[in-house]
Amino acid sequence: MDEPLLTIEDLAVQFPTEDGLVKAVDGVFLDVRPGEVVGVVGESGSGKSVTAMSVLGLVRRPGRITRGRIRFRGRNLLDLSPRALRAVRGGEIAMVFQDPMTALNPVVPVGRQIAEAVRLHGKGLSRGAVRDRVIELLASVGVPNPATRYRQFPHEYSGGMRQRAMIAMAMANEPALLIADEPTTALDVTIQAQVLDLLRSARERTGAAAILITHDLGVIAELADRVAVMYAGRVVEQGDVHAVFDAPRHPYTRGLMASRPRIESSPGALVPIPGSPPSMLAPPPGCPFHPRCPIAADREPCRISRPGLTAVGAGHATACHFHEELA
């Protein structure tokens, strides 16, 4: 098996708020191997985005990484100088954000924003060379009339086109790792499939690995090789997509699978997970899922100790005291 490209070890991120300390991420472990797509799923507030932001050091103040290591190509990204980190950002690791409507600077032509990404990592390129590269990038993500589109402003692009431009920007320096944070959530359903296709082909063309953050299990099933399920700031189950989806070994993953709408199911047959995600200000003691868990049944280990990830198969791990009962 390949050496991991990215290894997140015991990452913890905290946000001080007026009401107290929010532990948005509290002990995340995650590996990404070269060329592989890791899907990260979880409800809002489970720490998916904060984990992704941490990789590039983009956690905004007053948020703070309090613990852990993020190893990438032999370096701990958390130890890098600001200058060295900037070389990684947009160079070796690039990011696509959730809302393309707000992720582009409204007063700078789209082409120039992509050119900025090219120029920041390709010093010494001539103006013409940068421009040619940007037009080539725009064409590669399926933006029609790239030479005209180069000069246009974000408001002249549709949502789907903007996300294409964001992907072109991310792919500008052929990153080894692409992080896509809910890249299709803000888009029309008809556009979502196109953008996913595009992400897939862009990734395949450059051989980049990817972290794909989403709450859409269908997207994961379609694009990811492996999946990490997050709950309350930790990964609660991870493994090969087929292994996890075919035989989930964590009650939360089971709940997620069961709550998915399906074409064949009759109306009203959605099965929601009871309760709501825990407050990250005061997470429940023990396993954070136990108040909503169908198998915890108020058993003592669930109330008292937080389970760690345990291997339950080849590359498949779960954080549940009673995972055997789910086998």
Could you tell me if 141 and 191 are in contact, meaning their C-beta atoms sit under 8 angstroms apart? no
Could you say which of 17, 66, 76, 102 contacts other proteins (CB under 8 A)?
A: 102
Q: How far is the CB of 125 from other proteins (least distance, A)?
A: 15
DSSP secondary structure code for residue 173 in this structure: T
Min dist CB 223 to other proteins, Å, is: 21
Backbone angles phi, psi at 98, to 5 degrees: -65, -50
- Tell me how far CA of residue 146 lies from CA of 151, 256, 262, in angstroms: 9, 41, 39
User: Per CB under 8 A, which of residues 27..66 are in contact with other proteins?
Assistant: 56, 58, 60
Pick the piece of the chain touching other proteins (CB under 8 A) from 32-40, 106-114, 199-207, 213-221.
106-114
105 binds other proteins (CB under 8 A): yes
User: How far apart, in Å, are the Cα atoms of 102 and each of 58, 115, 195?
Assistant: 17, 18, 17
Asked if omega into 16 is within 30° of 0 (cis), the reply is: no
Closer by beta carbon to other proteins, 108 or else 271: 108
- In the bound complex, what is the minimum distance in angstroms from residue 172's beta carbon to other proteins? 8
Identify the residue among 40, 94, 199, 302 touching other proteins (CB under 8 A).
Answer: 94
Cβ neighbour number for residue 80 with a 10 Å cutoff: 16
The residue from 41, 138, 169, 213 that contacts other proteins (CB under 8 A) is: 169
- Contact status: 166 vs other proteins (CB under 8 A): yes
Name the 3-class secondary structure at 42. coil
User: Distance between CA atoms of 75 and 90, rounded to whole angstroms?
Assistant: 17
Footprint on residues 109-128 left by other proteins (CB under 8 A):
113, 116-117, 120-121
**Smallest gap from residue 136 Cβ to other proteins (A):** 18
The residue (of 155 and 260) whose beta carbon lies closer to other proteins is 155
Residue 221 lies near other proteins (rule: CB under 8 A): no
In angstroms, the CA 149 to CA 26 distance is: 43
SS3 content of the chain, % helix, strand, coil (to 5): 35, 25, 40
Does the footprint of other proteins cover residue 95 (CB under 8 A)? yes
Question: How far is Cα 177 from Cα 197, in angstroms, rounded to an integer?
Answer: 17
Q: How many residues bind other proteins (CB under 8 A)?
A: 31
Residue 91 lies near other proteins (rule: CB under 8 A) = yes
Classify residue 126 as exposed, middle or buried by CB count within 10 Å of its CB (0-12, 13-18, 19+). Answer: exposed
Q: Using the rule CB under 8 A, is 217 a contact of other proteins? A: no
Among 1, 107, 263, 269, binds other proteins (CB under 8 A): 107
* Residues engaged in binding other proteins (CB under 8 A): 56, 58, 60, 82-83, 86-91, 94-95, 97, 99, 102-108, 113, 116-117, 120-121, 153, 155, 166, 169
